[in-house]
Structure 1
Amino acid sequence: MAAWLLLLLSHTTDAATTNPPWKNNEYWMMQNITQVIGVDEITYYAYEGTFDKDILVKERVFCLIMRMSSFLGGETIAYRRYKKEMKQERLDELSLYLEPQRDQEYNVDNYMKVYDEYYTKIAQMYLVYTDYSRCALFNYDEKDDYELWLYQKPKADDIASACELLLALLSDKPRNVHYTNDCS
């Protein structure tokens, strides 16, 4: 009996490590990326992440925002705006193309391929969770890093969002705040 229990636990643990929760179509209602990107013109605040150097910009930056357009020909044009220094007045900008994709077992698009202005793929971001009103949590597939977007500009007295709590559970990496109250 103990051998069967040990065998069952070993297969359960193996399945949990090879199939992360955000690649489970059981959660598709919280992972429809086309309800986050390409929904009119919208700005998201890239509030925090598990990286020090921004994965898309490839350097340390502050005051990260994602400005998006509506869908055009199956993709969204986005601008990653940021400051290289906190004292900087004007934001720098990285032009991006976001192309929604779906894993084979999904019936909704659950991740996006991210291309730079030359249409070179620079990342693949999975939508781990969103409540479609306050926050969205993404995972960079190749890097095992996370990025948390807020729908509204963060305030000092805000309580933690569900995405922040989920990020704390999913990753042991230090969390870095990229959009602070000092950003204008």
Structure 2
Amino acid sequence: MKAISELLEATTVRAMPVVQGVTAQDMTAPTPCPEYDVRALINHLLHVIVNFQALAAKQDSDFSTTPDRVSAGDGSGVGDWQGLFEDETRRLVKAWAAPDAETGTAGTLGLPARTVGHMVLLDLTVHIWDLARATGQPYGPDPEVVTELGPAVEEMAPTARKWGVFGEPAGVPEGASPFGRLLAATGRDPRWSPR
């Protein structure tokens, strides 16, 4: 069983080309998450990454408001959020590599720490797919990450649907990949396109 930090690192490596490929013109594009355009999705993902650093350290998190980290910066409407994303994901990996990060419960969520680690791993993996789809970029997650997340998603799905985090399972075409089935389990259509 791989450590959450190793899985997060593998996910970050595949995420960075997608993140670097997002342009200022992409910011208002729709995403597979109906409540988010590209800018809102990036802000949400950065907020998740920062809060799950705290959860790894058994500290409280605050998801009450999502700061606009994308627009901060030089006044152009798009700050150096790509550099910030790289820095914060590096901090996330480091936080989950701490000796006790995967033991006990995590912060105010009161859930087993490894379950919480799976939550941020899933967010990072699936939201990067959302971002890639919205901006017309290729993306394939690390196969070990998908293998790790399959059972975790099955376990968390009923609660995630009750909380409105997952949608109802989407249909998948015959012969769908393991990642396609994972996306469908979260309520996403693996064939989603902005057009």
TM-score, scaled relative to structure 2: 0.28
Q: Which has the higher contact order (CA 8 A, sep 6+)?
A: 2
Structure having the larger proportion of residues in helix: 2
TM-score, scaled relative to structure 1: 0.29
Structure having the larger proportion of residues in strand: 1
Name which one, 1 or 2, has greater alpha-carbon Rg.
1
